[in-house]
Amino acid sequence: MTELIWDGKYKDGKKQGPVRIALPFQTIETVNESAQDRRRNLELFASGRDTEWRNRLIWGDRKYVLPSLLPEFAGKVKLIYIDPPFNTDSDFSFTATIPNHAGDEENRGAAFLKEPSILEQKAYRDTWGRGLDSYLQWFYETVVLLRELLSDNGSIYVHLDWHIGHYAKAVLDEVFGQEACQNEIIWKRTSARSDSHTYNHIHDVIYFYAQGAIDFNDVYVEHDEAYVESKYVHTDAQGRRYRLDNITSPNPRPNMTYVWRGHQPPALGWRYSKETMQRLHSEGRIWYPDSKDKRPQLIRYLDESSGQPATTIWTDVSPVNSQAAERVNYDTQKPEALLDRIIKASSNESDLVLDCFVGSGTTAVVAEKLSRRWIACDLGRFAVHTARKRLLAIPGVKPFVIQNLGKYERQAWQAAEFPSNGKDHLEEQRERETAYRRFILDLYRATPISGHAWLHGTKAGRMVHVAAVDAPVTQADVKAIARDTWKAVASGKDSPTKLGADILGWEFALEVNELAKQVAAESRVDVSFKKIPREVLDKKAVEQGDVRFFELGALSVSTKQKARELTLQLTDFVIPTDDIPEEARKAIKHWSQLIDYWAVDWDYKNDTFHNQWQAYRARKEPKLEIETKYTYSAPGKYAVVIKVIDILGNDTTKTLEIIVK
């Protein structure tokens, strides 16, 4: 077999395969699950039985997500569709919109290009950093894992274009085998343009491979106008168009050589038995000629035709244009009709569909509508948020979960970045944590200090705490940091010039942002929370000084209770606006313009946020309600969690304690 070789494919004579670390997924949100569904799943889990299936929307890099799916889903995915980046001009930017503020007729809002995060830039560098060589290695590692996830009779569709398709096909042939290639599909994605200096590039290619025995449902497309005009030339009394079809047998059938209503049988016999011919006659489906010398023919109505079998050239699926109802202003959005055809052809109801470059969410949306189970992944936070909104717009959408690899990915990074020196476990752990914290302090441009239980550095006259990679910052942590700050003042050692502490963390317990005001009031320590970005996991981002720490958003909510009815109203929302260009900031006249989506868990159980109600902006409905109501069925003490997602895709949460009498 001919093999495509690129720089980096082999090292010391061995192929360089994908990362094989299987990390546990963390469910960070359950969407659209009723209280009854939630209770039933908890009961199943408690009894040791399998819980009910939940479709999965995963935020993470396919490099870690795919191997982490293997333990549970190897050989179980019926259909994979991927639309990976296939152009050196590809990036992860998206158009963010600041909606118009109600009542402000002069200001129509503003749109601006949100540049890709450093994490997304890292993915771009990993893919294209060495040009074609790095792309092919990246693509090879991806499809190797996808092949292992695919079932024995599963199918994979790989959507590319003329830039890279011919190279990628050679890789697919190597991984799946040349015999697995079923089709090269040509999709006409646009019309000819006048700005081309060569033949217009108006199509994409989709490679269709099937592993093992092909499992394929026939696909039909509408007849084109010319075909209809030439074939369906007859019209009955009701105005229905039809064509005539031969009812003679194509092969010798002696048992079908009977006389039918005065017409002698053809030499090979009729196509149908006497019983079937009688039924067709009774239904008016047979056309009779004026002369007995001519044979009857079958009437085929145009409105009953399934169409003609689909070919490998698809010109009947239009792209998502600017006026399309499904448009979500996502540059790489693919039309639902495209995925509808693919999913219907190569899967059946309840089959599992996977897309690890889900983008705007089209694969998940169509799979949901067609009653398939689905797993959808993407590196971009905004992509995951866009997909969530599209899914919620589907009437009767089944419950699904949003997941990431969270602390497990960070633990793997810490172990690799700060290796042990052969010492005993406890000493190794301490050294690793010290090296990790000094690394974060250096990125934050803080000065390391020692001798304190909860304080690790100073910056601009404030104390600095660096949280562990695998635990959220809690209320108890914040109070301990405040106490340690006072001890530093009392001892005079590392005494801050300002009574304040910056808390750097990967994750924060739901209530801590609101706790800052309480701590400030009780201990007179000004506490600020800074999120450690995932970009620190990327050496190149670190080397380039691209790591930025942002403050958590602050959300204010008012409550009103009447008997068992609770009313929530958003009253304020503050986030850093560093990522919003100055011109776009001028369009912000009210805090609510920064909110794209908010959801409520009315009975938070200190496990996973369950989205039991939500409101969000849509293209057709840009207005956002900022008030909601809920009636509790029983008295008691309830934790209510409100989650807000801003226009940049970042989330902020707030916890309230409600007593219902």
Taking 50 as the threshold, does the pLDDT of residue 544 lie above it?
yes
CA 617 – CA 216 distance, rounded (Å): 39
The string of pLDDT tens digits covering residues 168-206 is: 999 999 999 999 999 999 999 887 776 678 888 899 999
59-68 pLDDT tens trace? 888 888 999 9
pLDDT for 81 equals 98
Span 610-621, average pLDDT? 88
List the beta strands (DSSP E) in 342-479: 352-355, 373-378, 400-404, 447-448, 457-459, 462-466
- 553-660: what fold? Immunoglobulin-like (2.60.40)
Most trustworthy range by pLDDT among 421-425, 527-531, 598-602, 608-612: 598-602
Question: pLDDT class for 123, splitting at 50, 70, 90?
Answer: low
Give the tens place of pLDDT for each residue, 301-332: 998 888 889 999 999 998 888 778 888 877 78
pLDDT at 257 over 60: yes
Cα 616 to its chain centre, rounded Å, is 17
The pLDDT value given to residue 107: 47
pLDDT of residue 120: 60
* More confident of the two residues 409 and 466: 466
pLDDT band at 102 (very low <50, low <70, confident <90, very high): low
Confidence band for 634, pLDDT divided at 50, 70 and 90: very high
Where in 328-371 does DSSP place strands (E)?
352-355
Q: Rank 424-433, 554-563, 579-588 by mean pLDDT and report only the highest.
A: 554-563
pLDDT score of 583 more than 80: no
- List, for residues 372-391, the tens digit of each pLDDT value: 999 999 988 888 989 999 99
Task: Please name the fold of domain 10-17+30-84+131-218+311-404.
Answer: Rossmann fold (3.40.50)
Of the listed ranges 218-222, 356-360, 581-585, the one predicted with least confidence: 581-585
State yes or no: pLDDT of 106 exceeds 60: no
Domain positions in the chain are 10-17+30-84+131-218+311-404, 223-306, 421-548, 553-660
Given this model, what pLDDT does residue 511 score?
A: 62
Residue with the bigger pLDDT between 66 and 97: it is 66
Q: What is the DSSP string of 285-338?
A: -EE--SSTTSPPEEEEEGGG---EE--SEE-S-----TT-TT--S-TTPPPHHH
**Across residues 220-249, what is the average pLDDT?**
91
Higher pLDDT, 519 or 298: 298
Rounded Cα gap, residues 189 and 337, in angstroms:
12
Lowest mean pLDDT among 340-344, 498-502, 582-586, 633-637: 582-586
**Which residues are CB-neighbours of 454 under 8 A, at least 6 positions away?**
465, 477, 480, 481, 483, 484
Q: Which of 18-22, 244-248, 510-514, 620-624 has the lowest mean pLDDT?
A: 510-514
Confidence band of 240 (pLDDT split at 50, 70, 90) = very high
The pLDDT value given to residue 313: 95
Higher pLDDT, residue 519 or 661: 661
442 vs 461, 466, 536, 545, CA distance in Å? 16, 11, 11, 11
Q: What is the pTM assigned to this prediction?
A: 0.79
Compute the distance between CA of residue 338 and CA of residue 342 in angstroms, rounded to an integer: 7
pLDDT at 456: 95
* Residue with tokens 């395969």, as numbered in its chain: 17
Beta strands (DSSP E) in 189-274 are 203-210, 220-221, 234-235, 241-245
Asked if pLDDT for residue 540 goes beyond 90, the answer is no
Q: What's the pLDDT at 105? A: 45
Which of the two residues, 551 and 371, has the higher pLDDT score? 371
SS3 189: coil
Among 19-28, 241-250, 474-483, 487-496, the range with the most confident prediction by mean pLDDT is 241-250
C-alpha to C-alpha distance for 441 and 460, rounded to whole angstroms:
13
The mean pLDDT value of the chain amounts to: 87
Asked whether residue 578 carries a pLDDT value surpassing 60, the answer given is yes
Is 394's pLDDT higher than 70?
yes
**With pLDDT > 90 as the criterion, what percentage of the chain qualifies?**
47
**Distance separating alpha carbons of residues 202 and 199, to the nearest angstrom:** 9
Structure tokens at 201: 């590039």
Percent of the chain with pLDDT over 70: 90
Q: Which of 109-123, 271-285, 459-473, 605-619 has the lowest mean pLDDT?
A: 109-123
Q: Give mean pLDDT, residues 255-277.
A: 92
Average pLDDT over residues 596-620: 89
